[in-house]
Amino acid sequence: MKLIKVKKVLIAMDYDETSKKVAEEGFSIATAMNAETILLHVVSADPVYYSAYTYMFEFQVEVLNDLKASTQIFLDKVKNHLGDKSIQTVLKEGDIADNILKTAKELDVDIIVVGSHSRKWLESIFLGSQAQDLLAKTTLPLLIVPTRKNE
């Protein structure tokens, strides 16, 4: 049996309050394997609607730029929380699952770590499941960290 050496761990994060748990789990794995840690956040490029069509583009760009700046601050805070200055942070824009997989390929990662919010079935129908989408599309090992809050 051939052992696979894990050199890079990609941790995909969102803004949910449980992202800290996902980052800690992924970082723990990376540290145990002496692997590089990469934090990723994908800003969804879904359209922003505004009542006057002529202002839609300007409003969308302004909101998106603010969101990107806030997201970078968020990634930097998580990096500081983990206490390792060598952690790389990556910010992408677009479809979440596709960008996670694209980034994993670009950075030649060995494993992807994501969280699953374990939403109720009705929410999953309307919101979809990024973890489920990743699982269907990836050829890389995928660690899904359950983040459901205790009831």
Per-residue pLDDT reduced to its tens digit, 70-91: 889 999 999 999 999 999 999 9
Confidence (pLDDT) at 33: 94
Chain length of the chain? 151
Contact in structure between 147 and 76 (CB atoms under 8 Å): no
- The rounded Cα 142 to chain-centroid distance in angstroms is 12
Q: How far is 14 from 27, CA to CA, in rounded Å?
A: 16
pTM: 0.80
- The rounded Cα 67 to chain-centroid distance in angstroms is 15
Confidence (pLDDT) at 120: 55
Domain spans of the chain, in order of start: 25-35+43-92, 101-118+130-151
Per-residue pLDDT, averaged over 103-125, amounts to 77
> Bigger pLDDT: 150 or 3?
3
Q: How far is 129 from 110, CA to CA, in rounded Å?
A: 22
pLDDT band at 150 (very low <50, low <70, confident <90, very high): low
Confidence (pLDDT) at 124: 45
| CA-to-CA separations, 73 to 36, 80, 92, 148, in angstroms, rounded | 21, 10, 14, 25
Per-residue pLDDT reduced to its tens digit, 129-140: 777 778 888 889
Write phi, then psi, for 101 (nearest 5 degrees): -70, -40
Q: How far is 42 from 98, CA to CA, in rounded Å?
A: 10
> Bigger pLDDT: 64 or 73?
73
DSSP tag of 50: -
Confidence (pLDDT) at 17: 75
Per-residue pLDDT reduced to its tens digit, 5-58: 889 999 998 877 778 899 999 999 999 999 999 999 998 765 444 445 554 454
**In this model, does residue 116 exceed pLDDT 90?**
no
Q: How far is 107 from 87, CA to CA, in rounded Å?
A: 13
Confidence (pLDDT) at 45: 62
Q: How far is 146 from 139, CA to CA, in rounded Å?
A: 21
